[in-house]
Structure formats: structure tokens, C-alpha cells
Structure 1
Amino acid sequence: MKRYILLISALLATALTAAAQKPLYIVNGVETEEIASIPPEDIDNVESLPADEETIARYGEKASHGVILITLRYDEPAVFMGDTTFNDYIARQVKWDDDEPAARIVLRYTVTPEGNAVVTQELESTDNRLKRRVLKAVAEAPRWRPAHKDGTPIESDGVLHIQLPTGKRMPRPVELVWR
């Protein structure tokens, strides 16, 4: 039992030390805890500041492990004006019965300064019927509030990932093995 408590104490101390040693993240001038959800294509510039006296004087004790300054391509991200996420909205618009085979489509799209979503690249498509239906749903989707940089609407990019029917697993691809 004593060993168990010592092990838990050591793991907790290690976790707290690791958490305490992460740098201060500042995104577009705003301090933030989490940067993993920022799409790499949205990042315009990344600057790393050392944990020196000047950095700590400017940003405070939170900067004692350095500062990562991230500048995004926009000040405000694009926002889909539908009642849910863009992926969920498009999936709801596409008629795909549960008895149909599982299919997936992944598309890259651009939100124009006017707020239209325009498909720019097909990344994956396992069924042409699903592709046609998704492209139609994207063309008929409500407008977005476009991303803004310095008060001006700008283009931004996103990735649409649809797999239907929901919850049904994709079949494994056929593999030929020669012996």
C-alpha cells in the first residue's frame, strides 16, 4: 500500500512539473491555454521567445518557461450561420439510407469573403453518389460569416468530412497478397 501511495505521488509530481513547464501561448495577442485545435493552414506566423528577464518582465511569471506567439491569418475566424457545425449540417442534408453501404467523402473548401463555401479539392471519395449529393448540399448551404483581418472579410479554408450512414463502419479495403 505504501508503495502504491509513493507511486501515485511520484506520478502526480511528474504531471504537475510537466504542466508547469509548458510555455505561455499567445494567439493574436490573447493568452490561451490550448492551441492543438488551431488548423495549421490558419497560422500565419509563429515566434518563440526565450524565458529571459525581458520576456518575464513583459508577460509576467507565466512566461517563466518561454512564450509562443502565434499570429493567425485572420482576427476573427469564419462562422457557419447554420444551426450546427458545417459537417453536421451537410450530413443532415444528404439523403443516405441505413441500408446503403458506408461511404465517406473528405473535401477541402474555401469560405469566400462573400460568405460562400466553395469546394476546392477532393481529398477522398469512396462513393460517387455520396460525392454528388454532398457537392449539391454544399452549393445550397447557408452563407457563412467570413473570416476578418483588420476589419476586412478574407478567404479562409476548411475540411469537410462526411461518413454515412452515421455509426456504420467503413468496409476494409480489399488487399491482394501474392505468395
Structure 2
Amino acid sequence: MQQRRRAHLPSFLAGFASALFLFLLLFGGVVLLLTYHGVTVTLNSGEIARMVRERVVIQAREDLPRLIDTAKTKIPSIVEAQMREQLISDRMEIAGFVFRVPEELLGQLRQSIRESAEQAATKILEGVDTSALAENMGDNVYLTVQETLSQELHGKIFEVLAYGRLPLRVRLQISN
């Protein structure tokens, strides 16, 4: 019985060595193929753009009301600065006649214009539909991301080191 085992040991080793050689040859061929030709990775630009759009809409819905509130608090100082530059003279010209406006009337005029400008600006800001604006921003970002991915990354080849040593070419294919 031991002779039979010994008689088959060289056959076993030859078969094992052949299988190992074929495996290494096949593995080397795959590595060589991947190194030279690389792999193609397909990215769905619509899906990526949708994810970015959702994040932008969420962020815009959070930030826009705060930005509008900040703008509302700055309206009086902006109006005041503009008023100082516009109403610096106490003279008024109507149909070629120049009149001197009394200081009290000029003060009331300034106050009335200031209040009207502040109210108008505040109403405009209060009328802004932040939700619709956020959706609009999201739609714009969606289109921009899709366009950028298609124009900038479609067909682009990157070289990545697999396992830190093996150079692998990765080609991006962008689909809609």
C-alpha cells in the first residue's frame, strides 16, 4: 500500500506544480491586462446630481431664512447711508425755481422717505418664498453637477495604486 502512495506522489506534485503555474500565469495575465487597459467605472450622473441637489435644498432651506433676517436688520443702516448721500442740500428745484426747504420739513421728509424705504425693503424680503428659492437653487445645482460630470469627467483616466503598489488605470464613464 505504501508503494502505491509513493508511485502517485510524483504525479501529484507534477499536477500541483502545473496547476500553480497555470494559476500564476492567469493571475499575471489579469494583472497585466488591468495594468495596461485598466477598468472602466460607470457613474450615474443623475444619481450623483440628485444627491447633491437634495443636500443643497436642505442647506438652503436652513440658511435662506437666516440670511433674510440678517438682511432685514441691516436695512435701516443701508437706508440711512443712502439718505445721507441723497439729501444733503436744503435746496429744492421745481420747474426752474429754487426753494430753500426749512430744516423741520427736511427732517420730516427724510424720516418719511427712510420709513417708506425700510418698509418697502422689509416687505420685499418678507415676500421671498425661501422654499421655492431653495428648490430653484437645487434645480440649478442638479443641472450644473450633471453638466460638469459629463463634460469634465467623462472618459477621464486616473491612475490608482491598488494595494499601494500596483498601478491601475481607472476610466470614468458618465451615464445619465
* TM-based fold match above 0.5: no
Q: What TM-score, normalized to structure 1? A: 0.21
Higher helix share: 2
Q: What TM-score, normalized to structure 2? A: 0.22
Q: Point out the structure with max Rg over C-alpha.
A: 2
Higher relative contact order (CA 8 A, sep 6+): 2
